[in-house]
Chains A and B, each alone.
Chain A
Amino acid sequence: MNFTLLVVMVLTAIVLVAAALTIARLVSPRSFNPQKAEAYECGIPTRGGSWMQFKVGYYLFAILFLMFDVETVFLFPWAAVVQDLGVAGLVNVAFFLFILILGLAYAWRKGALEWK
């Protein structure tokens, strides 16, 4: 595990963006026009901001994602040792997955997977 290189990579990413934006700021033209700073919306002035109450139609998927992503996190360490665990590992994880699939089936039956 080499965490120095991880820090180096984070710095590389920051340098990449900062360098690209600095070069662009240096060589690109600057001209001020109040129209330019308006939000883009088919040419007519915008009505109202977009920081309003917004129906996030996908929050159910986000919740389901949370459940299944945590499941994947649990499965990764299991997957690395399953060959040593043998049949016991298989039975345990089959039970674990069975409970999760019940959850997915419930969400499916309840219509949470329909986009509304």
Chain B
Amino acid sequence: MFDFSVVTNWVHGWLMSLMPEGLAILVECILIGLGVLVLYAVIAMMMIFMERKVCGAFQCRLGPNRVGPWGVFQLFADVIKMLIKEVIAIRHSDRFLYNLAPYVVILGSVLAFACIPFNKGVEVLDFNVGVFFFMAASSIGIVGILLAGWSSNNKYSLIGAMRSGAQMISYELSVGLSILTIVVLTDTMQFSEIVERQADGWFIFKGHIPALIAFIIYLIAGNAEVNRGPFDLPEAESELTAGYHTEYSGMHFGLFYVAEFVNLFIVSSIAATVFLGGWMPLHVPGWDGFNQVMDYIPGFIWFFAKAFFVVWLLMWIKWTFPRLRIDQILHLEWKILVPIGLANLLLMTVCVVFGWHF
């Protein structure tokens, strides 16, 4: 397996030979920040393009196809359009909170984004409580959404933000419980360790039945937590115009939009990391030749293939099912997913403690 820490160590050594230690670390921090910034923006643009194309395919349309081959320059056109729209400040809003909200939303999204292990040695925040930190970081976004809804002084925004808050905090529980199931299996909370433990088979295969149930719960709850798919009623355009970002225009709105798409990618890549092995190639115990061949494919290709597969799955769900009502959403979470999640956690614990395999 290609270990990216070779590259980072080489860069570190090279910078240390050029300049004093403090300056070298400063330059490294700036490089890491710029790298994350560029990756974040590129993934957001790719996601927006993919959404358009996949949506087109599911609705038997072509999607964007005029600007460049297969419409690939559409993504640049989208960014330029977003940039040259006027940023309107509305009169009766709470100006400070109104301007603060995009910062909070992007902050939660970037912190969660930094937890993802893209390859062996490519994870910015590799804490030993990684899963826990990820849960905490991804819930910062809710505060931003509530701020946006409240500060706009608009009834649509307020109702949208309240719905969004209720939905996101509810489904965060199921996300937590399903990841907890895997933490019980691995006895570690570090994402890089979780990936390493899947060297002899991904958890979806070797995690028995509880891992499979947890994966399905995670997909449903993750989809609801990013306000997408059949759970997108915080921004149900037929009832609430645009939900919590009704009053935001131009780039202000663009930031919410970008955060939403990157959050979809984050949810998918955590699903890929925790259940589908992250950057770990497909290994079958005993098939040494097969495993050797699979190791030739670099880890980041495995990671992005799995992450975009899950993204595609969630887009498929989004464009297939009609939108739910708020009481149906809360019913699904509290009366179905939470009890199943708790029972599943106990089942996994029993499996782990008694060493059962089925």
State whether A27 and B83 are in contact (beta carbons under 8 Å apart), knowing that A40-B154, A115-B326 are contacts in the complex: yes
Q: Does B301 contact A (CB under 8 A)?
A: no
Contacts of A13 in B (CB 8 A): 103, 106-107, 109-111
Complex CA gap A2/B32 in Å reads: 13
B252 — which chain A residues lie within 8 A by C-beta?
Answer: 21, 24
Q: Is B216 an interface residue (CB 8 A)?
A: no
**What residues on B are CB-neighbors of A54 within 8 Å?**
158, 162
Bound: A72/B183 CA distance, A: 12
* Interface of chain A residues 84 through 102 with chain B (CB within 8 A): 84, 86-87, 89-90, 93-94, 97, 100-101
Q: How many cross-chain pairs have Cβ atoms below 8 Å apart between A and B?
A: 205
Would B90 and A39 count as touching, CB distance under 8 A?
A: yes
* A18 nearest CB neighbor, chain B only: B103
Interface string of B301-342 (1 = CB under 8 A from A): 000000000000000000000000011001100110011001
Given A24-B83, A41-B154, A64 contacting B334 (CB threshold 8 A): yes
Q: Cβ of A9 and Cβ of B330 under 8 Å apart?
A: no
Query: What's the least CB distance linking A22 to chain B, in Å?
Result: 9
Within 8 A of A (CB), among B130-163: 131-132, 135, 150, 152-158, 162-163
Q: Would you give the 0/1 interface string for B15-33, flagging 1 where the beta carbon is closer than 8 Å to chain A?
A: 0000000000100010011
Tell me whether B180 and A23 are in contact (CB under 8 A): no
Residues on B with beta carbons closer than 8 Å to the beta carbon of A65: 169-170, 172-173
- Select from chain A the residue with minimum beta-carbon distance to B133: A6
Q: Scoring A residues 29 to 55 as 1 if CB is less than 8 Å from chain B, else 0, what string do you get? A: 111000011111100001001110010
Min CB distance B346 to A, Å, is 6
Report the Cα distance A27→B110, complex, angstroms. Answer: 25
Inter-chain contacts of B152 with A (CB < 8 A):
39
We find that the number of chain B residues with CB closer than 8 angstroms to chain A is: 83
Asked if B198 is at the interface (CB within 8 A of a chain A CB), the reply is: no
Interface assignment of B88: CB less than 8 Å from any CB of chain A: yes
Q: How far is the CA of A13 from the CA of B140 in the complex (A)?
A: 13
Contact of A115 among B33, B125, B156, B327 (CB under 8 A): B327
In whole angstroms, how far apart are the Cα atoms of A16 and B251 in the complex? 12
Contact A76 B180 (CB under 8 A): yes
What CA separation (Å) do A76 and B152 show in the bound complex?
37
CB pair A82–B154 under 8 Å, yes or no, is no
State whether A9 touches B87 (Cβ < 8 A): no
Chain A residue numbers with a CB within 8 Å of B208 are none
**Assuming A12-B36, A62-B166, A82-B187, is B156 touching A24 (CB within 8 A)?**
no
Cβ of B291 within 8 Å of any chain A Cβ, yes or no, is no
Inter-chain contacts of B177 with A (CB < 8 A): 72
The answer to whether B91 and A38 have CB atoms under 8 Å apart is yes
Contact of B338 among A6, A49, A81, A104 (CB under 8 A): A104
Please tell me if B6 contacts chain A, counting CB pairs below 8 Å.
Answer: no
Q: Which of A12, A31, A108 neighbours the largest number of chain B CB atoms within 10 Å of its CB?
A: A12
A104 proximity list for chain B (CB < 8 A): 334, 338-339
Q: For residue A11, which residue of chain B has the nearest CB? A: B33
Asked if A90 and B349 sit within 8 Å, CB to CB, the answer is yes
The interface residues of chain A lying within 8 Å CB-to-CB of B154 are 39-41, 46, 50
Picked from B110, B247, B334, B339, the residue with its CB within 8 Å of the CB of A40 is B247
For B165, the closest partner residue in chain A by CB is A58
- Asked whether, in the complex, the Cβ of B184 is within 8 Å of the Cβ of A79, the reply is yes
* A75 engages B180 (CB within 8 Å): yes
CA distance A82 to B181 in the complex (A): 11
Q: How far is the CA of A47 from the CA of B135 in the complex (A)?
A: 40
From B29, B88, B92, B327, A8 is in contact (CB under 8 Å) with: B29
Q: Which residues of B does A touch, CB under 8 Å?
A: 25, 29, 32-33, 36-37, 40-41, 82-92, 102-103, 106-107, 109-111, 114, 124-129, 131-132, 135, 150, 152-158, 162-163, 165-166, 169-170, 172-173, 176-177, 180, 183-184, 187-189, 241, 246-247, 250-252, 254-255, 326-327, 330-331, 334-335, 338-339, 342, 345-346, 349-350, 352-353
Binding site for B on A (CB under 8 A): 1-2, 4-6, 8-17, 20-21, 23-25, 27-31, 36-41, 46, 49-51, 54, 56-58, 61-62, 64-65, 68-69, 72, 75-76, 79-84, 86-87, 89-90, 93-94, 97, 100-101, 104, 108, 113-115
Q: Which A-B residue pairs are the 3 nearest by beta carbons?
A: A24-B251, A115-B327, A58-B166
